[in-house]
Structure 1
Amino acid sequence: MTSEEPGPGEPAVPEEQRWPGPDLYTLRGMVELDLALERGVTVDAAHALLSDAVVHAFGSRWYEWLTDALTAEGRDPAELPALLTDDALAERVLERVRARMAADDEAPDPPGGESGWYAYAPGDPRGSRGRYRRAVARRRENARQALLTPPRRRVAGRRRHR
């Protein structure tokens, strides 16, 4: 079994949902790492790992596309820290990079519009998504019951089994 295959009881994750994805977090992570390198921080292992991940997510020409996108936005290509502070700029640059990915045959396919960050996996076998929804739906009733019900007395040496 490889690290890509799901373990027993784990849902299979499609290739397009595996980390790293061509998303804002991957792009900003690489920018933060480049800035750390410029300051002289030793991040050799992190740089090796993340640079491979960025190439896997965006393709081998990602840096060229990033600087072209910054230039198209009227920014200096060396002005990478702007991607960390300006969310709107970062989103526009990411969309330009994804458009270039779609045009390049060697680059991975950009994600569709249905991608997003969620608290639970789509095929959650334990059903925790349903438990969460029920808890949210009954939160007012549960809060009222907690306020009105007297606390249980604790008796030493006796434990209630369920």
Structure 2
Amino acid sequence: MRARLPISLIGAMALVVSACGVESTALTTMPPADFELAAASAPTTAAVPQLPAIPERQSLFETWDPTAFSNPTVIDNEWMPLTPGTKLVYEGVTNEDEEVHHQIITIVTPFTKVIDGVETLVLWDRDYSDGNLAETELAFFVQDDNGAVWRMGEHPE
């Protein structure tokens, strides 16, 4: 404890000395005697700088082409095949305050819904937390002519 006292004392003294060594002229500098405030308040004819023009906002969907979906509800992508009647069950645990059993059940329905001019395949998702239904939603998927699967939206219930 005694060894720390001199180190603390030296640190405190260094802080005081460094603070005292700084000169500040901000409060002691006065404007010249012939300074006129009227010049600052006189109207000016100088041009006010203009902000640059904001470019026209582009759509997030500029590449959206509904004609690129000739058979959108046939989703046979090798990484995400969605065939009506398929039931997918995902199970695991979540760690909130403690481990909780978590399960998501997805059913690919035979139903369709038209969104933005494209017929979509409807999936029904049910989310269970510790055996209790936490959320259910309808999800809408399509596949374009290049084989890419698109999630067109969802409707939580």
Q: TM-score range by the shorter chain?
A: under 0.3
Higher strand share: 2
Q: Using CA pairs under 8 Å that are at least 6 residues apart, name the structure with larger relative contact order, 1 or 2.
A: 1
State the TM-score, normalizing by the size of structure 2. 0.19
Greater CA radius of gyration, 1 or 2?
Answer: 2
Higher helix share: 1
